[in-house]
């Protein structure tokens, strides 16, 4: 299997390199793998994730995602890469003035799909996350668990190469959390999507084989 | 209510800028008309010992445009009433030659003095009368009013620009989160700005339509009944239909600059 994510001697820092969060780490993640990244609060989990979708430029080292070198990437190429990523946030990051259906098809809208295709896909995706009846509601009319399912549906909309999830169940109850884990497991199993989840706690009920990295003292270590 | 307020916050300053631009254009044209009128009606008087040709005067100063001799016989016939023919001939022989001399453009008093000096440098020219003081005073008053108006327009434009910048802050606050999410999912700049452009262009069109209504009212209603000669006589020329095109294009340019400024001053996703 080919590498989808590859980091080599990667250093991530804020304040123009003055505040290092991750230092000199190397790892690879292959297509179709399910990966958990855990670690204490403030250890740099979210920072690592941000770097993977190009929000934070590496200070040193190499970082390649989906074949694209994120150290020397041009804005246009970065935009292209992002259209092949499915990103899930702890705070959902839904667009509150848009309906649930419109939020879900955002990646399709960006890719230039027709309105008919968008509508069909919105119905399919919302049915998949069991929110079909909420298509015309606005995000703030839904519960936290439901909003996160909208976020997952949006992440799956364009069959992404990689799903990057930042504490996707951080604010949810057990039932909602299990629904989210199921959806991500299915995506990984059925579509061979690489899933990388940053979380403070690995779910106890998890059926897929997975890899587990811990971030500690600015390093990233794999747990065997 | 908030919706209307948000739109008015952009429409009103934009309208003020457009009105200012229109006033500026109108006053520029009015001044040009006035200057043209002054130029065409203005002549200086040149008195010479011998007859002088226009080409000779032009050689003395390049601003000389026309020269019309004043009939000496008519002057003599008026001042020599009751005198016999030989006396009249004597007076005519002693009388110098008079010319009304026109210029190619409107000149200030100092420039008229320079022309006078140039002309008087020729020994054949006996005297030059510029009538400079009368000529200049009314124009100076007009220029002063124009300067004050331009200053007011500039002040209005600056205040309006600040109001537009304030509205851009509101736009930033309203649209930043959506634009950030769209950017994270790879939306190109124009797609991210789509909503903002739609809002701003609608506002620009509303401002343009309001401007047009004011324009047509002034042109077809107020101007003809204003009682101001120069406006009544030239109202067709003062406010031209092409101004509307200029104003609509200006409004769109302001919108484009405002929207892009909002986008580029928003904090991007890449840190």
- Per-residue pLDDT tens over the stretch A61-82: 999 999 999 999 998 999 999 9
pLDDT band at A35 (very low <50, low <70, confident <90, very high): very high
Residues facing residue A69 across a β-bridge:
A64
pLDDT, averaged across chain A: 91
Calpha distance A170→A155 (Å, rounded): 17
In this predicted model, what pLDDT tens digit does every residue of A91-131 receive, in sequence order? 999 999 999 999 999 999 999 999 999 999 999 999 988 89
| Residues A75 and A4 reside in one and the same domain | yes
Which of B178, B182, B269 is nearest residue A55 as measured by Cβ atoms? B269
User: Would A174 be classed as within a structural domain?
Assistant: no
pLDDT tens-digit profile of B71-93? 888 777 777 777 777 777 788 88
Nearest to A70, CA basis, from A151, A135, A7: A7
Same domain, A103 and A57: no
From A159, A180, A206, the end of a domain falls on A159
Q: Are residues B260 and B160 in the same domain?
A: yes
Q: Which pLDDT score, from 0 to 100, does residue B271 have?
A: 44
Instruction: Give the span between the Cα atoms of B269 and B177, in whole angstroms.
Output: 10
Torsion, Cα of A26, B186, A92, B265 (10° steps): 100
Are residues B143 and B103 part of one domain?
no
Find the mean pLDDT for residues B125-144: 77
Chain A residue closest to B178 (CA)?
A95
The rounded distance, in Å, linking the Cα atoms of B23 and B118 is 39
Do A2 and A44 reside in the same domain of the chain?
yes
How many distinct structural domains can be found in chain B? 2
- Contact at 8 Å (CB) between A81 and A68? yes
* CA geometry: angle A23, A161, A122, nearest 5 deg: 125
Higher pLDDT: B224 or B158? It is B158
Domain end marker among B84, B112, B135: B135
| pLDDT band (50, 70, 90) for residue B268 | low
CA distance B177 to chain A (A): 8
Answer yes or no: do A59 and A127 share one domain.
no
Provide, rounded to the nearest whole percent, the portion of chain A with pLDDT above 90: 71
Which is it for strands A34-38 and A211-216: parallel, antiparallel or unpaired?
A: parallel
Q: Say yes or no for a CB contact (<8 Å) between A57 and B186.
A: no
> Is the predicted pLDDT of residue B220 greater than 90, yes or no?
no
Task: Identify the pLDDT of residue B44.
Answer: 87
Nearest to B270 among A55, A83, A110 (CB): A55
Residue B134, pLDDT > 70, answer no
Instruction: Based on the fold, state whether residues A41 and A115 are members of the same structural domain.
Output: no
Residues A154 and A224 in one domain: no
Same domain, A5 and A72: yes
Q: What is the pLDDT of residues A14-24, one digit of tens each?
A: 988 788 999 99
- For position A85, what pLDDT does the model report? 94
Q: Positive or negative, the Cα torsion across B35, B37, B39, B44?
A: negative
Does residue A57 share a domain with residue A24? yes
**A115-122, long-range: CB within 8 Å, 24+ apart, which pairs?**
A121/A157
Task: Over range B18-43, report the average pLDDT.
Answer: 81
Alpha helices in chain A, H assignment, sequence order: 45-52, 75-82, 100-104, 106-111, 115-128, 144-156, 174-191
The yes-or-no verdict on residue A198 having pLDDT over 90 is: yes
Closest CA–CA distance from residue A147 to any residue of chain B (Å): 15
What mean pLDDT do residues A133-138 have? 96
Asked if the structure places residue A71 within a domain, the reply is yes
> In this structure, is residue B174 part of a structural domain?
yes
Picking from B2, B183, B185, B194 by the largest number of A CB atoms within 10 A of its own CB, the best residue to mutate is: B185
Pair A73, A4 in one domain: yes
pLDDT tens sequence across B184-211: 999 998 898 888 888 889 999 999 899 8
A36 plus A80 within the same structural domain: yes
Domain-located, residue B153: yes
- Smallest CA–CA distance, residue A215 to chain B, in Å, is 21
Q: Flag whether residue A53 sits within 8 Å of chain B, measured between CB atoms.
A: yes
Q: Are B48 and B24 in a shared domain? A: no
Of A25-29, B93-97, B235-239, least confident by mean pLDDT is B235-239
Nearest residue on chain A to B176, alpha-carbon basis: A95
Asked whether residue B237 falls in the same domain as residue B250, the answer is yes
In terms of CA atoms, which chain B residue is nearest residue A158?
B185
B149 with B230, same domain: the answer is yes
Asked if the model's pLDDT at residue A90 lies above 60, the reply is yes
The answer to whether position A137 is within a domain reads yes
Contact B185 A55 (CB under 8 A): no
| Domain presence at residue A184 | no
In a domain, B128, yes or no: yes
Whether residue B60 is contained in a domain is answered as yes
Asked if the C-beta of A50 comes within 8 angstroms of chain B's C-beta atoms, the answer is: yes
When scoring A97, A104, A140 by the number of chain B Cβ atoms within 10 A, the one with the most, hence best to mutate, is: A97
Mean pLDDT of B165-171: 86
**Contact yes or no for A87 and B184 at CB 8 A:** yes
- Domain co-membership, A76 together with A94: no
Q: Is B163 found in the same domain as B117?
A: no
pLDDT of residue A106: 96
Q: Contact A110/B187, CB-based, under 8 Å?
A: yes
Question: Most B CBs within 10 Å: which of A12, A57, A70, A82, as the mutation test of the B interface?
Answer: A82
Phi, then psi, of A48 in degrees rounded to 5: -60, -45
Compute the distance between CA of residue B150 and CA of residue B153 in angstroms, rounded to an integer: 5
Q: What is the count of residue pairs from A and B with beta carbons less than 8 Å apart?
A: 52
Question: What's the CATH number where B69 sits?
Answer: 3.30.70
Q: Is residue A188 part of a domain?
A: no
- Contact assignment for A81 to B186 by CB distance below 8 Å: yes
pLDDT at position A219 is 92
* Tokens linked to A45: 């989990």
- Tally of structural domains, chain A: 2
Q: A142, A159, A176 — which closes off a domain?
A: A159
Q: For residue B92, which of B104, B100, B84 has the smallest C-alpha distance?
A: B84
pLDDT above 80: residue B237: no
Contact A79 B187 (CB under 8 A): yes
Nearest CB to B270; choose among A54, A94, A106: A54
Residue pair A100/A137 in contact (Cβ under 8 Å)? The answer is yes
Residues A44 and A18 in one domain: yes
Residue A82: per-residue pLDDT = 94
Taking an 8 Å cut-off on Cβ atoms, the answer to whether A95 and B177 are in contact is yes
Do the domain assignments include residue A183? no
Rounded distance between C-alpha atoms, residue A74 and residue A71, angstroms: 9
Q: How far apart are CA A163 and CA A172, in angstroms?
A: 19
The minimal CB distance from A55 to the residues B178, B181, B271 is found for B271
- Alpha-carbon B171 to chain mean position: 36
Q: Is the residue at B271 inside a domain?
A: no
Average model confidence (pLDDT) for chain B? 84
Domain encompassing residue A217: 1-84+163-168+193-224
CATH number for the domain harbouring residue A73: 3.40.50.300
Domain boundary among the residues B76, B103, B135 is at: B135
Does one domain contain both B126 and B144? Answer: no
Last residue of a domain, one of B135, B157, B192: B135
d(CA A156, CA A187): 8
Task: Measure the N-to-C terminal CA separation of chain B; round to a whole number of Å.
Answer: 38
Other residues' Cβ atoms within 10 Å of the Cβ of residue A191 = 14
Same domain, B147 and B240: yes
**Confidence tier at A193 by pLDDT (50, 70, 90):** very high
Task: State the average pLDDT over residues B1-9.
Answer: 81
State the pLDDT at residue B218: 83
Per the structure, the complete domain to which residue B186 belongs is given by: 2-37+137-265
Shared domain check, B61 and B155:
no
Task: Judge: A57–B191 Cβ closer than 8 Å, yes or no.
Answer: no
Nearest Cβ partner of A110 from B177, B191, B271?
B191
Does residue B200 sit in the same domain as residue B251? yes
| Confidence category of residue B238, pLDDT binned at 50, 70, 90 | low
Q: Are residues B109 and B227 in the same domain?
A: no
Residue B46 and residue B25 share a domain: no
When pLDDT is cut at 50, 70 and 90, the band that residue A1 belongs to is: low
Best mutation site among B186, B187, B267 for testing chain A: the one with the most A CBs within 10 Å? B186
| ipTM at complex level | 0.89
Residue B135: band (very low, low, confident or very high) from pLDDT cuts 50, 70, 90: low
The edge-to-edge listing of strands for the beta sheet with B97-103 is: B64-70, B97-103, B44-48, B125-129
């Amino acid at each position: 299997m080919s590498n989808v994510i590859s980091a080599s001697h990667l250093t991530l820092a804020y304040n123009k390199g003055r505040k290092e969060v991750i230092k000199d780490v190397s790892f690879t993640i292959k297509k179709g793998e399910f990966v958990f990244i855990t670690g204490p609060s403030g250890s740099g989990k979210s920072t690592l994730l941000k770097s993977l979708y190009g929000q934070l430029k590496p200070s040193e080292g190499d970082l390649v995602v989906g074949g694209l070198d994120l150290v020397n990437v041009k804005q246009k190429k970065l935009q292209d890469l992002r259209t092949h990523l499915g990103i899930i946030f702890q705070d959902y990051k839904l667009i509150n003035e848009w309906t649930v259906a419109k939020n879900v098809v955002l990646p399709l809208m960006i890719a230039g799909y027709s309105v008919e295709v968008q509508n069909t896909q919105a119905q399919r995706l919302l049915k998949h996350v069991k929110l079909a009846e909420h298509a015309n509601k606005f995000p703030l009319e839904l519960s936290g668990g439901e909003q996160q399912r909208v976020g997952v549906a949006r992440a799956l909309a364009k069959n992404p190469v990689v799903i990057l999830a930042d504490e996707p169940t951080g604010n949810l109850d057990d039932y909602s959390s299990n629904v989210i884990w199921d959806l991500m497991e299915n995506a990984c199993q059925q579509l061979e999507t690489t899933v990388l989840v940053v979380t403070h706690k690995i779910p106890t009920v998890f059926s897929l084989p997975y890899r587990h990295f811990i971030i500690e003292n600015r390093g990233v270590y794999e747990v065997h | 209510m908030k919706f209307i307020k948000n739109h008015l916050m952009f429409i009103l300053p934009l309208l003020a800028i457009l009105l200012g631009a229109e006033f500026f254009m109108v006053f520029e044209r009015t001044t040009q008309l006035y200057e043209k009128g002054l130029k065409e009606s203005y002549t200086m008087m040149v008195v010479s010992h011998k007859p002088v040709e226009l080409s000779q005067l032009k050689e003395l100063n390049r601003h000389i445009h026309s020269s019309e001799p004043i009939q000496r016989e008519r002057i003599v016939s008026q001042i020599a009433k009751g005198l016999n023919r030989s006396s009249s001939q004597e007076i005519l022989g002693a009388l110098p030659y008079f010319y009304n001399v026109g210029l190619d453009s409107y000149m200030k008093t100092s420039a008229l003095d320079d022309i006078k000096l140039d002309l008087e440098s020729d020994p054949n020219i006996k005297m030059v009368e510029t009538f400079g003081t009368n000529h200049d005073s009314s124009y100076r008053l007009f220029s002063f009013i124009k300067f004050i108006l331009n200053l007011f327009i500039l002040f209005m434009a600056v205040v309006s620009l600040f109001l537009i910048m304030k509205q851009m802050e509101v736009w930033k606050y309203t649209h930043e989160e959506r634009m950030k999410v769209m950017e994270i999912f790879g939306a190109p700049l124009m797609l991210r700005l789509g909503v903002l452009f739609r809002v701003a262009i609608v506002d620009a069109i509303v401002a343009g339509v309001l401007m047009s209504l004011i324009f047509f009212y002034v042109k077809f209603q107020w101007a003809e009944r204003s009682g101001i000669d120069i406006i009544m006589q030239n109202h067709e020329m003062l406010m031209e239909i092409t101004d509307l095109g200029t104003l609509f294009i200006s409004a769109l340019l302001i919108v484009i600059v405002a929207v892009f400024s909002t986008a580029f001053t928003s904090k991007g996703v890449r840190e």
